[in-house]
Protein backbone atom coordinates (compact mmCIF):
# COMPACT_ATOMS: atom_id res chain seq x y z
CA UNK A 1 0.00 0.00 0.00
CA UNK A 2 1.69 3.18 -1.19
CA UNK A 3 -1.08 5.65 -0.40
CA UNK A 4 -3.92 5.61 2.13
CA UNK A 5 -7.41 4.71 0.97
CA UNK A 6 -9.51 7.71 -0.07
CA UNK A 7 -12.30 6.91 2.41
CA UNK A 8 -9.80 6.80 5.25
CA UNK A 9 -8.34 10.16 4.22
CA UNK A 10 -11.77 11.80 4.07
CA UNK A 11 -12.80 10.31 7.42
CA UNK A 12 -9.61 11.29 9.24
CA UNK A 13 -9.68 14.79 7.77
CA UNK A 14 -13.31 15.27 8.89
CA UNK A 15 -12.44 14.00 12.39
CA UNK A 16 -9.53 16.44 12.63
CA UNK A 17 -11.83 19.37 11.82
CA UNK A 18 -14.54 18.16 14.19
CA UNK A 19 -12.11 17.66 17.09
CA UNK A 20 -9.96 20.71 16.22
CA UNK A 21 -6.75 18.76 15.55
CA UNK A 22 -4.20 19.75 12.91
CA UNK A 23 -2.39 16.44 12.34
CA UNK A 24 -3.49 12.84 12.20
CA UNK A 25 -2.14 9.38 11.43
CA UNK A 26 -3.60 6.47 9.49
CA UNK A 27 -2.10 3.10 10.42
CA UNK A 28 -2.70 -0.08 8.45
CA UNK A 29 -1.61 -3.45 9.82
CA UNK A 30 -0.88 -6.02 7.12
CA UNK A 31 -1.58 -9.73 7.29
CA UNK A 32 2.02 -10.39 8.33
CA UNK A 33 1.72 -7.84 11.18
CA UNK A 34 3.70 -5.07 9.51
CA UNK A 35 2.60 -1.48 10.07
CA UNK A 36 2.14 1.03 7.28
CA UNK A 37 1.69 4.59 8.52
CA UNK A 38 0.57 7.77 6.78
CA UNK A 39 0.45 11.22 8.34
CA UNK A 40 -2.08 13.84 7.31
CA UNK A 41 -2.43 17.55 7.97
CA UNK A 42 -6.03 18.70 7.92
CA UNK A 43 -7.22 20.20 4.66
CA UNK A 44 -10.06 22.74 4.54
CA UNK A 45 -10.94 22.14 0.86
CA UNK A 46 -11.22 18.39 1.47
CA UNK A 47 -13.53 19.01 4.45
CA UNK A 48 -15.67 21.47 2.48
CA UNK A 49 -16.06 18.87 -0.28
CA UNK A 50 -17.27 16.29 2.26
CA UNK A 51 -19.78 18.81 3.63
CA UNK A 52 -21.00 19.54 0.09
CA UNK A 53 -21.47 15.84 -0.61
CA UNK A 54 -23.36 15.36 2.67
CA UNK A 55 -25.68 18.25 1.78
CA UNK A 56 -26.36 16.79 -1.67
CA UNK A 57 -27.13 13.40 -0.09
CA UNK A 58 -29.40 15.03 2.51
CA UNK A 59 -31.30 16.98 -0.16
CA UNK A 60 -31.80 13.89 -2.30
CA UNK A 61 -33.07 11.89 0.67
CA UNK A 62 -35.48 14.69 1.68
CA UNK A 63 -36.82 14.74 -1.89
CA UNK A 64 -37.09 10.92 -1.77
CA UNK A 65 -34.77 10.61 -4.76
CA UNK A 66 -32.22 7.87 -5.22
CA UNK A 67 -28.79 9.11 -4.09
CA UNK A 68 -25.93 9.26 -6.55
CA UNK A 69 -24.02 5.99 -6.53
CA UNK A 70 -20.32 6.33 -5.76
CA UNK A 71 -18.06 3.33 -6.37
CA UNK A 72 -15.95 1.98 -3.54
CA UNK A 73 -12.79 -0.11 -3.64
CA UNK A 74 -14.94 -3.21 -3.18
CA UNK A 75 -16.87 -2.46 -6.38
CA UNK A 76 -14.03 -3.07 -8.81
CA UNK A 77 -13.93 -6.83 -8.23
CA UNK A 78 -17.69 -7.30 -7.80
CA UNK A 79 -19.42 -9.63 -10.26
CA UNK A 80 -22.34 -7.15 -10.46
CA UNK A 81 -20.15 -4.12 -11.28
CA UNK A 82 -21.75 -3.61 -14.69
CA UNK A 83 -25.24 -3.36 -13.17
CA UNK A 84 -24.22 -0.29 -11.18
CA UNK A 85 -21.60 1.36 -13.34
CA UNK A 86 -20.49 1.55 -16.94
CA UNK A 87 -18.84 -1.46 -18.48
CA UNK A 88 -15.60 -2.30 -16.76
CA UNK A 89 -12.62 -1.83 -19.01
CA UNK A 90 -9.69 -4.16 -18.70
CA UNK A 91 -6.78 -1.83 -19.09
CA UNK A 92 -3.08 -2.33 -18.64
CA UNK A 93 -1.13 -0.04 -16.33
CA UNK A 94 1.33 1.94 -18.44
CA UNK A 95 4.24 3.83 -16.94
CA UNK A 96 5.27 7.28 -18.08
CA UNK A 97 8.55 5.91 -19.44
CA UNK A 98 6.66 3.36 -21.57
CA UNK A 99 4.39 6.13 -22.90
CA UNK A 100 7.46 8.10 -23.94
CA UNK A 101 9.05 5.07 -25.59
CA UNK A 102 11.68 4.66 -22.91
CA UNK A 103 10.68 1.08 -22.04
CA UNK A 104 12.95 -1.33 -20.24
CA UNK A 105 15.86 -2.52 -22.38
DSSP string, 74-87: GGGG-TTHHHHSSP
Domain membership flag for residue 104: no
Mean pLDDT score across all residues of the chain: 83
Decide if pLDDT at 88 tops 60.
no
Q: Please report which residue ranges of the chain form alpha helices under DSSP H.
A: 6-18, 44-62, 81-84, 96-99
Residue 6 binned pLDDT confidence (cut-offs 50, 70, 90):
confident
| Domain span at 25 | 6-99
Domain membership flag for residue 88: yes
Rg value, the chain, Cα: 19
Residue 28 in contact with residue 1, Cβ under 8 Å?
A: yes
Count of domains in the chain? 1
pLDDT of residue 7: 87
* pTM of the entire predicted model: 0.65
Residue 51 binned pLDDT confidence (cut-offs 50, 70, 90):
very high
pLDDT of residue 97: 64
Domain membership flag for residue 105: no
Domain membership flag for residue 53: yes
Decide if pLDDT at 89 tops 60.
no
Domain membership flag for residue 58: yes
Domain membership flag for residue 1: no
Amino acid sequence: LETPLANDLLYLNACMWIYDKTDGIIIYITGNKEEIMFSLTRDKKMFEEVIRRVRVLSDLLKEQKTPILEPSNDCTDCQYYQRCFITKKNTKQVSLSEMLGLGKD
